[in-house]
Structure 1
Amino acid sequence: MNQGKILIVDDKKSVLSALELLLLSEYKTITTLANPNGITSISDIKSYNVILLDMNFSAGVNSGNEGFYWLKRIKELTPNTSVIMMTAYGGVELAVRALKEGATDFVLKPWDNHKLLSTVQSAYKLQQSRKEVSHLKQKTKYLKQLINKNDSPIIGNSKAINQVLKMTRKVAKTKANILITGENGTGKELIAQAVHNGSSRKEEVLVTVDMGAITESLFESELFGHTKGAFTDAHNDHAGKFETANGGTLFLDEIGNLSFALQAKLLAVLQSRVIFRVGSNNPIPVDIRLVCATNCKLEQMVEEGLFREDLLYRINTIQIEVPPLRLRDDDVLLLAEYFLNSYANKYGKFGLKLSASAKKKLQNHQWPGNIRELQHTIERSVILTEHKNLTSNDFVFKKQTVSTSQKLDATLGDMEKAMIENALIKHEQNFSAAAHQLGITRQTLYNKIKRYKI
C-alpha cells in the first residue's frame, strides 16, 4: 500500500463511495469532499499527492467551467499536486484544455477500475517526482548561496579603492569579459566575487580556477571534463569547470601563468563557447560570464611572445586595476582594525587595541605583500601578544633583502625563498621574467611561491 494521500471532490455521494472503496486498497489516506468550496478550508492541502476533481457541480450544467475554476484555485494553493479531472460529458477538446490548464490527466465517467487505478498511480508518481525536483532546486539554491557566500568584505574608504568599486558596480551589470590586474595580495578575488554578486548571474555559482596550479597534462580534464575510460585513472564521467560554471561566472585566476600551448586551447573554447570532454566527440554548449585575474603585465608578455595577443583581446573587454595597499591612504588602519577584531574573536583574545605607535608603524610600512601581508602580520601579532594594547614592538616585518651574514646562517630553503622574493620585486611581480632570471619554469616558480607562502 502506498503512503499517499488522495482527495476526491465530487457532488455525487455514489461516486465518492465507489472511488473511496476502490482507492483504499492502494493508498493509506482517502478524503472525500462533496462541495468544492471546502477545498480552500483544508489546512494541509499541500500534503495531498493526487486530487480527483469533478468538472460539473451545478444541476443542468455540463460546460466544465466550474471544474476549470477549481483547477486554477488548486494549482494556486498546491502547484506540485497532481489533479485528475473527471466528467461524464467529455470530449477531446475538453481533455486538451484540461491538460493545457494544468491537469495531470482526464477521466471519463463511468470509468474502468483498472485504468483508473493506473491513471492515479501515474499521477502519484508524477507528484513525487515534482516534489523531489522542487526539493533538489531548493537544495541547489542553498548550496549555490553557500558557495557564493563571501565572508571577506572589501574594506576601505580611499579614493583609489572607491574608484575600483565604482567601476566594478558599473561593469558587473553587463556581460563583458573582465580582466582584473594588480599585485599579489591586493584582493583581486574579492573584486571577482563583487562582479559576480552584482551581475544577473548572482543566483548561480562562481567557479574559481587557479590556472597556475593546473599542470598541462590535467588542463583539459580539469577545465573541460572527461568521460569514463578516457585515460587510466578516469573511473567515472567528470564534469569540468566550464560545465560546473554553466549559467554562472567562471573566474580564471592567475591567467598569466598559463603556458602558451594551453592558451590556444582556452582561446578556442572562449570563441566557440562549446567544450568537448576528454574522450568524447559530443559538443557541450556552455554559457558562462568570464572573469580573469593576473599579477603579470600581459601587454609586456605579448611583446615577449609569452602570451597570445588574441587571447588578451578576448579576456580584456574591461580591465580593472586593483591598487596596491601603499596607495590606499588610511585604508591600512581600517583593514588592520578589521583583521584585529576578526582574529581576536578567532583566538579568544577580546578587547585588543592598536596603540598610537603601532598605528604609525603600520602606516609607514610599504606593504610589498599588500593586504595578504597585513592580514598575516595582524594574525601573528594577535597570537603572540600577551597584553591588550598592541605596540609597535608587536609587529615585525620580514626583510626584503638578505645580508651576507644572514645567508651564512640561513637554510637552503630560506635562501631560495629570499632569491624568489628579490626576483619578484626586481621584475615587479612578473612571474615569467622572475622565472627566467632564476632559471626555472613558471610552473616551478608558482609551486615554490605557494610552498613558501610568498
Structure 2
Amino acid sequence: MVTDLKSINMLDGKILVVDDNKSVLSALELLLQKLYSHVVTIFNPNQITSIADLKDYDVVLLDMNFSSGVNNGNEGFYWLRYIKEIAPDISVIMITAYGDVELAVRALKEGATDFILKPWDNKKLIGTLQSAYQLRQSRREVFGLKEKEKHLKSIINKNDNYIIGNSKALQEVLTVTRKVAKTNATVLITGENGTGKELIAREIHKCSKRSEEVLVSIDMGSISESLFESELFGHTKGAFTDAHEERMGKFEAAHKGTLFLDEIGNLPLSLQAKLLAVIQNKEIVKIGSNKAIPVDIRLVCATNCNLDLMVEQGLFREDLLYRINTINIEVPPLRERDNDILLLIEYYLNLYGNKYGKKGLKIQKSAEKKLLNYNWPGNVRELQHTIERSVILSEGHVLVADDFLFKQRPQVYQKELNTTLDEMEKDMIANALKMHHGNFSAASNQLGVTRQTLYNKMKRYGL
C-alpha cells in the first residue's frame, strides 16, 4: 500500500472506474477517494451510456474484458472508442489481467492514455493516474486558450463600419472585391484619401477563406525607419538596448490571416527591399535571431499615391510594385457615387444622433441640396466629420443649410462660375494632359488621382 498518501493533496477531479470485478472496484474506490474529490465505480459497462456528464470526467479506468473466458480486449476497445467519441479529451487508462505488448500498443493507438496490469502496484497506479489527470487538465487549458483566441479574433475582426451605397460605381468595386477575396492573390487598393480603402480591405478578409483568422492592419507611413524591422518582423530579448522581452512582429501575428499594409506608398525606398524579401521568401527573421520563421499571410496593400509615377521617379521599386499589385482595386471618390451621398447622410445622422442623445434628427431640403452640390474632396471621411460636427452643434431637431460648414479651398476656376462641376473637371484633365504633353503618369500625379482613375475620367468625358 502507498505509505505517503497524507502528503498528497486531494485534487478536484472526477474519476470513473469501470470493472466487472466488485473487489477491484472496492479496492480502487477506497484508494482513490483519498486523492480525488469525486470517484464513481461501475460494474456493468453498459451503464456508461447513461452517464449524462461523461464529458466532465477527467480520467476513466477501464477494464478490457467483461465476459467470462474472453481475454482478447475487444470489449474494452469498444468502450474506449465510445468514450473517446463522446469526450475526446478524457484520459482513459486501460486495465487488464492479461499482459500483452501488442494489446498495449493497440490500446495506445486507439486513444488510450496508458495501460496498467492487474494486480497493480498502488504507487505506480497513482503515478499513472496523476499523469493522466494532468494531461486532461492540460487539454482543458489548451481548449480554453483556443476558445479565448477564437473570441479575441472575433473581437479584432469585428467591424462597426459598413460599406454603404448602391451606386453603380461602388457595386462594381464590391463585385470585384468579393470575387478576388476567394483567391489568395495580393491586392493593391488605390483611391483618394477618405474613400474607404480600409473598408475594402476588411471586406476582402471577411469574404476570404481566412475570415476566421485575424486581420492585422499597419500604417506604413507611421513607422520610423529605426523601428521598421522590429514592428514588422519582431525581435528577440536583448536584441537591442530597449528589447527587454521578445516581441512578435506584424507578419507573425497575421500568420494564417490577412496583413493589411496601409499607405504603402509612404514606405522609404531604403526599406522596400526588406519588405520585398519577406514577401518573396514567405519567411521572417527576427532582429537578434538567425532562425527563419515561415509566415503564411494574405497581403493587401493600399495607397493614395501614384505608384507608377513613383517608379518612374525612382521612389518606389518596380519589383515590389509587381509583387503587391496582382489585382488593383480602384475605390471611386464620393463625387462619382451618385445618390450614395444621401444614404451616407442618413446613416451618419442616425449614428451621431444616437451617440450624442439627439435621436430623430431630420435634415431640411435646402441643407440636403447643399450637401449634394458639394464636391467632397475629402470623400466619405469628410462627409462623416461634417455630419458629426453639425449634429454636435445643432440646437433643433431639423438641420438647416447653415448648420453645415465646409472648409474653404482656393477656387481654380473663378472666371467659370457658370460651368458645371463635370465641365470644370473635364477642363482640368485636358489642361493637365496638354501641360504634360500626353504623359498620363505626370498628369494623374498633378491631379492627385491614380492613372486608372484618369483613364476612367478620360473615357467618361470622351478625351
TM-score scaled by length of structure 1: 0.88
Q: Which runs of 5+ in 1 are unaligned?
A: 404-424, 432-454
Counterpart of 2:262 (choices 253, 271, 291) is 253
Counterpart of 1:364 (choices 367, 373, 376) is 373
Show the 5 A alignment for 1:231-310.
231-310=240-319
Paired with 1:294 and 1:166, the residues of 2 have a C-alpha distance of 20
Residues 277 and 147 of structure 1, relative CA distance in 2, 3 Å threshold: same
Counterpart of 2:402 (choices 393, 414, 418) is 393
Cα distance, 1:38 vs structure 2: 1.4
Partner amino acid, structure 1, of 2:176? M
> Is the contact between residue 184 and residue 429 of structure 1 (CA under 8 Å) also seen in structure 2?
no
Partner amino acid, structure 2, of 1:72? R
**Cα displacement string for residues 186-237 of structure 1 (whole angstroms, at most 9, x for unaligned residues):** 0000000010111111111000010000000000000000111111111110
For residue 93 of structure 2, what is the aligned residue in structure 1?
84
Paired with 2:83 and 2:54, the residues of 1 have a C-alpha distance of 9
**Cα displacement string for residues 332-380 of structure 1 (whole angstroms, at most 9, x for unaligned residues):** 0101111111111111101001221121111111100000000000000
> Is the contact between residue 88 and residue 110 of structure 1 (CA under 8 Å) also seen in structure 2?
yes
Task: Say yes or no: does 1:13 pair with 2:13.
Answer: no
- Secondary structure of the structure 2 residue equivalent to 1:185: coil
Greater Cα shift, 137-146 or 59-68: 59-68
> Is the contact between residue 390 and residue 403 of structure 2 (CA under 8 Å) also seen in structure 1?
yes
For residue 67 of structure 2, what is the aligned residue in structure 1?
58
> Is the contact between residue 306 and residue 445 of structure 2 (CA under 8 Å) also seen in structure 1?
no
Residues 84 and 44 of structure 1, relative CA distance in 2, 3 Å threshold: same
> Is the contact between residue 45 and residue 78 of structure 1 (CA under 8 Å) also seen in structure 2?
yes
Partner amino acid, structure 1, of 2:383? L
Paired with 1:384 and 1:304, the residues of 2 have a C-alpha distance of 46
Paired with 1:315 and 1:156, the residues of 2 have a C-alpha distance of 28
Q: Which runs of 5+ in 2 are unaligned?
A: 1-9, 413-443, 451-463
Paired with 1:368 and 1:248, the residues of 2 have a C-alpha distance of 34
For residue 231 of structure 2, what is the aligned residue in structure 1?
222
Paired with 2:49 and 2:191, the residues of 1 have a C-alpha distance of 61
Cα distance, 1:387 vs structure 2: 0.9
- Secondary structure of the structure 2 residue equivalent to 1:314: helix
- Secondary structure of the structure 1 residue equivalent to 2:248: coil
**Cα displacement string for residues 285-316 of structure 1 (whole angstroms, at most 9, x for unaligned residues):** 11111000000010111011110000000000
**Cα displacement string for residues 313-333 of structure 1 (whole angstroms, at most 9, x for unaligned residues):** 000000100000000000001
Percent identity (aligned): 70
**Cα displacement string for residues 384-428 of structure 1 (whole angstroms, at most 9, x for unaligned residues):** 11111112111111111399xxxxxxxxxxxxxxxxxxxxx9844
Cα distance, 1:429 vs structure 2: 4.1
Partner amino acid, structure 2, of 1:131? R
Q: How many residues are paired up?
A: 410
Counterpart of 1:329 (choices 312, 330, 338) is 338
Task: Say yes or no: does 1:160 pair with 2:175.
Answer: no
Task: Say yes or no: does 1:137 pair with 2:116.
Answer: no
**Cα displacement string for residues 222-280 of structure 1 (whole angstroms, at most 9, x for unaligned residues):** 00001111111111101100110111100000000000000011001111111111111
Counterpart of 1:344 (choices 353, 360, 380) is 353
Cα distance, 1:19 vs structure 2: 1.0
**Cα displacement string for residues 119-154 of structure 1 (whole angstroms, at most 9, x for unaligned residues):** 101000000000000000000000000000011110
For residue 214 of structure 2, what is the aligned residue in structure 1?
205
Paired with 1:429 and 1:10, the residues of 2 have a C-alpha distance of 81
- Secondary structure of the structure 2 residue equivalent to 1:184: coil
Cα distance, 1:90 vs structure 2: 3.6
Cα distance, 1:430 vs structure 2: 7.6
Cα distance, 1:47 vs structure 2: 1.8
Greater Cα shift, 285-294 or 99-108: 99-108
For residue 106 of structure 1, what is the aligned residue in structure 2?
115
Partner amino acid, structure 1, of 2:282? R
Paired with 1:9 and 1:319, the residues of 2 have a C-alpha distance of 64
- Secondary structure of the structure 1 residue equivalent to 2:210: coil
For residue 427 of structure 2, what is the aligned residue in structure 1?
none
Paired with 1:317 and 1:390, the residues of 2 have a C-alpha distance of 46
**Cα displacement string for residues 5-31 of structure 1 (whole angstroms, at most 9, x for unaligned residues):** 111011110110111122122212111
Task: Say yes or no: does 1:188 pair with 2:211.
Answer: no
Cα distance, 1:89 vs structure 2: 2.4
Partner amino acid, structure 2, of 1:400? R
- Secondary structure of the structure 2 residue equivalent to 1:83: strand
> Is the contact between residue 192 and residue 449 of structure 2 (CA under 8 Å) also seen in structure 1?
no
Counterpart of 2:181 (choices 154, 168, 172) is 172
Paired with 1:383 and 1:44, the residues of 2 have a C-alpha distance of 56
Partner amino acid, structure 2, of 1:24? Q
Paired with 2:407 and 2:371, the residues of 1 have a C-alpha distance of 13
> Is the contact between residue 344 and residue 382 of structure 1 (CA under 8 Å) also seen in structure 2?
yes
Paired with 1:214 and 1:38, the residues of 2 have a C-alpha distance of 64
Partner amino acid, structure 1, of 2:323? R
TM-score scaled by length of structure 2: 0.86
- Secondary structure of the structure 1 residue equivalent to 2:235: coil
Paired with 2:161 and 2:173, the residues of 1 have a C-alpha distance of 17
Task: Say yes or no: does 1:318 pair with 2:334.
Answer: no
Residues 105 and 426 of structure 1, relative CA distance in 2, 3 Å threshold: closer
Paired with 1:372 and 1:256, the residues of 2 have a C-alpha distance of 20
